[in-house]
Amino acid sequence: QKEVEQNSGPLSVPEGAIASLNCTYSDRGSQSFFWYRQYSGKSPELIMSIYSNGDKEDGRFTAQLNKASQYVSLLIRDSQPSDSATYLCAVAPNAGNNRKLIWGLGTSLAVNP
Amino acid sequence: SAVISQKPSRDICQRGTSLTIQCQVDSQVTMMFWYRQQPGQSLTLIATANQGSEATYESGFVIDKFPISRPNLTFSTLTVSNMSPEDSSIYLCSVTGTGAKNIQYFGAGTRLSVL
C-alpha cells in the first residue's frame, strides 16, 4: 500500500513567521512531488512541484525534497493570513504512464494576524 | 495550465435519482481523473477516464454506480447513479497535460447533496 502521510494539524503560526509543513511517503521509487493549497470550499491549486533532491524556491515558498529519507517539505516564509488553508502533499509513485497521484490527508494551516 | 469547466457547480438531488457531472477542458489533455472529497477529508480517486475505452476504477468504486464517459480528449462525464445520502460530497475533475510531468489541474468541483 503506497502511502503519503502528513500531520493533520492545525498548524498555527503568527503572521510573518515561517510555516513548515512536512510530508513522508512510502514508495522509494516515487518520482514527482507536489504541494497543493486548498481553501475552504475551493478546489486544490498547485503551489509547488519538485522532482530532484534539494530545495526549490518560488517567491515565499520553498519545497525541499530528500529522497533518501523519503520526505518532502514546504516552507512558507513571511506567512500571511491569506496563507490560511489546507495544504495537500501529493506524490507520483512511479515513472509509469498512469499519472495517478497518491494524496496525503492534508495539513490545516492557520496564520494569525 | 488548462482551463477546466465543471458543471453543475452544485446540486441537491433526491435519493434514488442520478446526476451527471460534466468536465470540459479548453485544450487536449492526456489524462482525466474523477475524485470525491467528503467534508474535511482528502481526495479519493474514483477513476481514470480513458479516451475511447472504459474507465479504470479504483478499489471500492464500480462502473454501475459511477459510469464515466470520455468521448474525446477534452470532455468527460461522471454519473452518480441511484444516489443515497452517503453520496453527498464534492466531486472533482482533474486533468494532466502531455508534458506536465504528472501535474494535475482541477476543475472548480461539484457540490452534491442527496436528500
> Each residue of A2-48: pLDDT tens digit?
799 998 889 999 999 999 999 999 999 898 999 999 999 999 999 99
Mutation to test the A interface, candidates B4, B37, B58, B102, most A Cβ within 10 Å: B102
CB B88 within 8 A of CB A19: no
Lowest-confidence region among A1-5, A54-58, A109-113, B3-7: A1-5
pLDDT at A83 over 90: yes
Contacts for A59 with CB less than 8 Å, ≥ 6 apart: none
The residues near A94 (Cβ < 8 Å, ≥ 6 apart) are A27, A29, A30, A31
The alpha-carbon gap from B15 to the nearest alpha carbon of chain A, in Å, equals: 24
Q: Give percent helix, percent strand, percent coil of chain B, each to the nearest 5.
A: 5, 50, 50
How many angstroms separate the CA atoms of A75 and A63, rounded?
Answer: 6
Rounded mean pLDDT, B3-31: 95
Which pLDDT band, with edges at 50, 70 and 90, does A90 fall under?
A: very high
Distance of CA B20 to the CA centre of its chain: 9
- B107 contact residues in A (CB cutoff 8 A): 43
